[in-house]
Amino acid sequence: MRVAVTRLAQDAPIGAYGRATVVVEHRDGVPTLPTSALRGAVLDGAEVAVCTHGHVEIRKVRVGWRDDDRFEVSEGVLPGEKVAVDHVLGLEDGAPVSELK
């Protein structure tokens, strides 16, 4: 792909690399979470820790689009469910948890 960049403060040197995200579709109702919520590698079967009814429920998820900061959950978490986003590797299935309001 070729891209023309305009309005730079200075000319970009020949051979410079960059990264761009091109959004071709927006899907309503698909949860997006921070990547810190992921447990395990995406290819090996990613998991998240869902906080429900005062305990942790470890669920396998299908990851859709993702970048360095966030990812799309295409299967495994419903919109509106609460998911742990910090220190998720230390959580076990069934562990008690206080849900933030």
Q: What is the pLDDT of residues 47-78, one digit of tens each?
A: 999 998 899 999 999 988 888 898 988 889 98
Domain contains 73: yes
Q: Given a cut of 80, is residue 2 above it in pLDDT?
A: no
pLDDT greater at residue 3 or residue 75: 75
Q: Given a cut of 70, is residue 1 above it in pLDDT?
A: no
Total domains in the chain come to: 1
- Could you give the residue ranges of the DSSP H alpha helices within 1-101? 42-45
Domain contains 49: yes
Given CA atoms 21, 35, 26, 62 in this order, what sign does their dihedral have? positive
Name the residue type at position 78. L
Structure tokens of 22? Answer: 């091109």
Instruction: Give the structural domain span for 56.
Output: 32-90
Strand-pair partners of 58: 49
The model carries a pTM of 0.69
Question: Can you tell me whether residue 93 is helix, strand or coil?
Answer: coil
Which pLDDT tens digit goes with each residue over 23-45?
776 677 778 899 999 987 767 77
CATH number, domain at 36?
2.40.420.20
